[in-house]
Amino acid sequence: MELVADDGIAKWRTLLGPTNTADAKAKAPNSLRAHFGTDGTMNACHGSDAPDTAAQELNFFFNSPRKCFSGRGGSTLCIIKPHAVLAGHAGMIIDTIQKKYKVTGAEMFVISRPNAMEFYEIYKGVCAEYTSMVEQLCEEKFIALEVSDPDGENPVDAFRELCGPPDPEIARVLRPETIRAQFGNDKVKNAVHCTDLAEDGQLEVTYFFDLLQGC
């Protein structure tokens, strides 16, 4: 993650706590490393220690070309929609996904209306909510995830089952354990987008992680 704030490096390192987890528990018991670290190596989080190293590390992760996952069964796309991100549900949605799948790519996006229309073009003239779906997607920041099956199988159909019916009201009745049942509001603000067809999984992943990213 890229974090932005006045005196951001110092604030982040204070929140992290000492590098060694034992020291963190003794000297900064409310820090992240005190809560989630186990030792000096598995200490939960990393934080840049100076502006020049921050610039190098940001360049490494966000400006270097990345290759999308290419397993035997490929991967599928999940979009955590803007309303779910704003509501603070992204972490819980990702936790739910990772119980069964690997998240092999993640990026926060803000896209233009033409890009949103292009991505949702398959629903134009088919889905009554098409225009509202476009407006929701380009309204604010959202998170695109590349989701892969740990056994290398094509994850599209099974992952769509985890997401649940597109209408959260129906999902809450028929599939209350699904992501849309738990975090969706209505048919447009239904928490997540997921790929519909098995053959489209890699295409949708490529749209965000190659075409829009230039990777």
**Catalytic entry in 35, 46, 89, 193:** 193
3-state SS class at 62: helix
CA atoms within 13 A on the CB side of 31: 28
> Has 193 been annotated as catalytic?
yes
Residue 162 structure tokens: 């985890």
3-state SS class at 113: helix
**How many angstroms separate the Cα of 36 from the Cα of each of 3, 24, 29, 40, 141?**
19, 10, 11, 12, 28
Among residues 162, 169, 18, 174, the alpha carbon closest in space to that of 95 is found at: 162
Catalytic residue list: 193
